[in-house]
Chain A
Amino acid sequence: MDATSHRFRDNARHALANGRLKESLASFTKTFPEKRQKVIDRLPEFDALRDEGVRIKNHVLANLDFYLERFEAKATAAGAQIHWCRDAAEARETVLSICRAAGARTVTKSKSMIGEEIAINEFLESNGVRPVETDLGEYIIQVRGESPSHILVPAIHLKGPDIAQTFREKHTALPPGRALDEPEAILREARTVLRGEFLAADVGLTGANMLVAETGSIVVVTNEGNADLVMSLPKVHVAVASLEKVVPTLEDAATILRLLARSATGQDITAYTTFATGPKRPGDPDGPDEFHIVLLDNGRTAMLGGEFRDMLRCIRCGACLNHCPVYAGIGGHAYGWVYSGPMGSVLTPSLLGAHQADDLPNASTFCGKCEQVCPMRIPLPTMMRHLRERQFTTGGPAAKGRGALKVWAFFARRPALYRRATALAIGALAFLGGGRGRFRRLPLTSAWTGPRDLPAPQGRTFQALWAERRRRKP
């Protein structure tokens, strides 16, 4: 997808004006946090589990080369083929060449954020290979020509009637008078359409939630079971995963799985959790003849050595989106690229590069809710602040208003001058308020007074009044 993160302000305005989106977000950002809280309340050791998850990930990041090589050795021994790719272009070419070698015309896909990151669908399509999304939400947005608005719940910006309308327009072979009012009817229809695609596909493409170094397995979790059909029905399975997905052992994978579903959807565990190791062996009843694993860097090793390293602990649970009051206002599309919410506000500038997504780390109140719920305890506000610090010197929204900030700081660093200047300014402002208690508008304050009144100051500064009190009774 073409990134529009540089147009964040326009995107956000557009989103805020969308009444239907407001409804969807209001219900979603209420129910998901509630479900998470409920399931965590049942698990007293959840915080200890988080600490263990953080320890595992930090250990992996400190020994990434070791575990990746071990993963490669184990996966290769199990019969998988490993492809190392530096960037999105290399990964796309690799996937395409595997499809071509298999003579593929149709590729089924299970939901993959890495697939979105490398924009694999557009690329395959322009090269004569037809990708078919098989996760219900992804399928819906694929037929609508949209991008995911949430890393977990890609079609969360839509409501039932939107989807029914889309299906009527796209599934023209089905009876036009059919009922599509109930979610079940929508699901049944998608299933019917997708069943044929599953069977016709030549290649199945998935991501991976984890790579297990101990066994050379990939781990894929879904709630729909679609990934299992994608992985096992076609002759060829390709899994694309970024480097930081590796974990040392099956035990470690189990720890992270316990954190993932609880944080993501408020489930104890996802409905389907699949470990895939190598292609079909002689005597296996099913499985692909070929199993390819594309290991993608795409900016991760560059983050490893810097102040954004903690971000590589992210397990893409989406908890930070579900709890973010900014995301709740504008939804995922406003962020303009694959990743949205707080994790996107850190990851997108790191992955797209300087000045492609400068607004994202600024569009946060630093309320801290994201860090509070992150299972991997990623200090998201701290990293957004680092990005603002960079902008303050190199330019960007953080540097806008630098002049005003510098003037304010000039006074704030000179307490005596500050006391005199503020006493005068506040007195003048209170005089303008004229006892009305607030301003509906005031020159130079439109950003404040657009949405809200400006309460008037009481008239004297505390410092001045305190000095008077001290003089009266020393």
Chain B
Amino acid sequence: MSSAAPRVGFFVTCLVDLMRPSVGFAAVKLLEEAGCQVEVPAEQTCCGQPAYNSGDRADAIALAKQVIAAFEGFDYVVLPSGSCAGMIREHYPRLFAGDAAWEGRARKLAERTHELTAFLVDVLGVTGVTAKLAATVTYHDACSGLREMGVKTQPRRLLASVDGLTLKESAMAETCCGFGGTFCIKYPEISERMVDTKADDLIATGADMVLAGDMGCLLNIAGRLKRKGSAMQARHVAEVLAGSLDAPAIGEPGRTS
């Protein structure tokens, strides 16, 4: 690779694209500040995980091909989601196993694909950020990021450099929140129990705010916290790290754009 700024293909992910673009801009800011040249291919929609996990291989494969074609020209592919990053890195190569035309392309893309905070710390060697936030926060480890992408210490390392911020760990930080993609609407009662357990565990920390690296979990957790009448705010970790806190927290009133 050349010594010039690394060219990063930013995959915004469908949930950030549709629900919370402020997370996307926060992520781009972090990447640009770390010296990356960031591009956002227009031909991106979804990584295909909803189809893949519903047993719909045909659509999963079609969407994976679309992603590979859109992103294979970059030095790196970075996503503000451990789940979608895990889909590309762990599951694309499996989807194309034995497919001579696509398996190699899928593997090459997989090797260059990273979750945002892991990319900043592990690949770029970022050790801190310049953001400020006078608050006590707690961090929820989203399952795929944690178990497929090894995201655990990286966001915490960066958060430790945020001026004024205190991190208070919850007892069940690594326990699933019950989102699970379509799981939460296919089995709403079970999902409710899981997210309720999660919300109670987060509230028990006494933190002002819960952070995580995946919008799916955050929508689920924020929605339950609000339903329970909790004042705890929920944000994507990128917003705090980038100091992009203009938009109201997830599910809070106020207009953004």
Q: Which of B42, B185, B189 is A448 in contact with, Cβ under 8 Å?
A: B185
Mask, A303-326, CB within 8 Å of B = 1, is: 000000000000000000000011
The reply on A7 being an interface residue by CB < 8 A is no
Interface pairs (18), CB distance under 8 Å: A13-B189, A329-B193, A363-B190, A368-B143, A368-B147, A400-B186, A409-B56, A412-B63, A415-B45, A426-B18, A435-B255, A437-B251, A448-B188, A451-B188, A453-B222, A455-B250, A459-B257, A460-B21
A353 to chain B, nearest CB (A): 18
B residues near A329, Cβ cutoff 8 Å: 190, 193-194, 197
Interface pair B185/A447, CB less than 8 Å apart: yes
A436–B255 Cα distance when bound, in Å, is 8
Interface pair B45/A435, CB less than 8 Å apart: no
Interface pair A457/B20, CB less than 8 Å apart: yes
Interface pair B21/A366, CB less than 8 Å apart: no
B-side binding surface: helix, strand, loop or mixed?
helix
Q: Which of B45, B143, B147, B179 is A411 in contact with, Cβ under 8 Å?
A: B45
CB-based nearest B residue for A465? B21
Known: A388-B54, A415-B45, A437-B251. A365 touches B59 (CB 8 A): no
CB-based nearest A residue for B24? A462
Mask, A260-280, CB within 8 Å of B = 1, is: 000000000000000000000
A15 to chain B, nearest CB (A): 9
Interface pair A391/B176, CB less than 8 Å apart: no
A residues near B57, Cβ cutoff 8 Å: 389, 392
The reply on B136 being an interface residue by CB < 8 A is no
CB-based nearest A residue for B41? A415
Interface pair B56/A438, CB less than 8 Å apart: no
Interface pair A367/B176, CB less than 8 Å apart: yes
The reply on A456 being an interface residue by CB < 8 A is yes
Mask, A386-429, CB within 8 Å of B = 1, is: 01111111000111111001101101110110110010001000
A445 to chain B, nearest CB (A): 8
Mask, B164-188, CB within 8 Å of A = 1, is: 0000000000111011111111111
The reply on A160 being an interface residue by CB < 8 A is no
A residues near B247, Cβ cutoff 8 Å: 458
- Identify which of B25, B48, B54, B185 gathers the most chain A CB atoms within 10 Å of its CB: B54
B residues near A462, Cβ cutoff 8 Å: 12, 16-17, 21, 24-25, 40
A residues near B211, Cβ cutoff 8 Å: none
The reply on A94 being an interface residue by CB < 8 A is no
A18–B168 Cα distance when bound, in Å, is 32
Q: How many residues of B contact A (CB 8 A)?
A: 74
Interface pair A385/B190, CB less than 8 Å apart: no
Interface pair B223/A438, CB less than 8 Å apart: yes
A288–B148 Cα distance when bound, in Å, is 51
CB-based nearest B residue for A417? B45
B residues near A351, Cβ cutoff 8 Å: none
A346–B144 Cα distance when bound, in Å, is 20
Known: A325-B175, A364-B183, A455-B223. A408 touches B50 (CB 8 A): yes
Mask, A13-24, CB within 8 Å of B = 1, is: 100100000000
The reply on B115 being an interface residue by CB < 8 A is no
A6 to chain B, nearest CB (A): 15
A161 to chain B, nearest CB (A): 24
> What 4 pairs across the A-B complex have the smallest Cβ distances?
A365-B180, A452-B223, A388-B55, A392-B55
The reply on B252 being an interface residue by CB < 8 A is yes
By size class, the interface of chain A is 35 or more
A364–B24 Cα distance when bound, in Å, is 29
A329 to chain B, nearest CB (A): 4
CB-based nearest A residue for B28? A466
CB-based nearest B residue for A459? B257
A residues near B250, Cβ cutoff 8 Å: 455
The reply on A330 being an interface residue by CB < 8 A is yes
Q: Which of B40, B42, B53, B257 is A388 in contact with, Cβ under 8 Å?
A: B53
Known A12-B187, A12-B190; 12 more pairs at CB < 8 Å: A364-B180, A365-B183, A371-B147, A387-B55, A406-B59, A412-B14, A413-B45, A422-B17, A448-B184, A448-B188, A455-B223, A463-B42
Known: A364-B183, A388-B55, A389-B57. A412 touches B251 (CB 8 A): no
A residues near B12, Cβ cutoff 8 Å: 462-463, 466
Interface pair A451/B66, CB less than 8 Å apart: no
The reply on A450 being an interface residue by CB < 8 A is yes
The reply on B191 being an interface residue by CB < 8 A is yes
Interface pair A385/B50, CB less than 8 Å apart: no
A409–B148 Cα distance when bound, in Å, is 25
A422–B178 Cα distance when bound, in Å, is 26
CB-based nearest A residue for B20? A458
B residues near A466, Cβ cutoff 8 Å: 12, 24, 40
A residues near B184, Cβ cutoff 8 Å: 447-448
Q: Which of A362, A389, A391, A406 is B186 in contact with, Cβ under 8 Å?
A: A362
CB-based nearest B residue for A388? B55
A residues near B124, Cβ cutoff 8 Å: none
A402–B182 Cα distance when bound, in Å, is 11
The reply on B256 being an interface residue by CB < 8 A is yes
Interface pair B178/A401, CB less than 8 Å apart: no
The reply on A350 being an interface residue by CB < 8 A is no
Known: A398-B54, A405-B54, A451-B192. A459 touches B256 (CB 8 A): yes
Q: Which of B147, B220, B256 is A452 in contact with, Cβ under 8 Å?
A: B220
A residues near B224, Cβ cutoff 8 Å: 451-453
A124–B17 Cα distance when bound, in Å, is 62
A residues near B55, Cβ cutoff 8 Å: 385, 387-393, 398-399
B residues near A371, Cβ cutoff 8 Å: 147
A368–B143 Cα distance when bound, in Å, is 7
The reply on B137 being an interface residue by CB < 8 A is no
Interface pair B56/A405, CB less than 8 Å apart: yes
B residues near A367, Cβ cutoff 8 Å: 143, 147, 176, 180
Interface pair A454/B56, CB less than 8 Å apart: no
Interface pair B148/A438, CB less than 8 Å apart: no
The reply on B254 being an interface residue by CB < 8 A is yes
The reply on A369 being an interface residue by CB < 8 A is yes
B99 to chain A, nearest CB (A): 16
Q: Which of A368, A437, A465 is B252 in contact with, Cβ under 8 Å?
A: A437
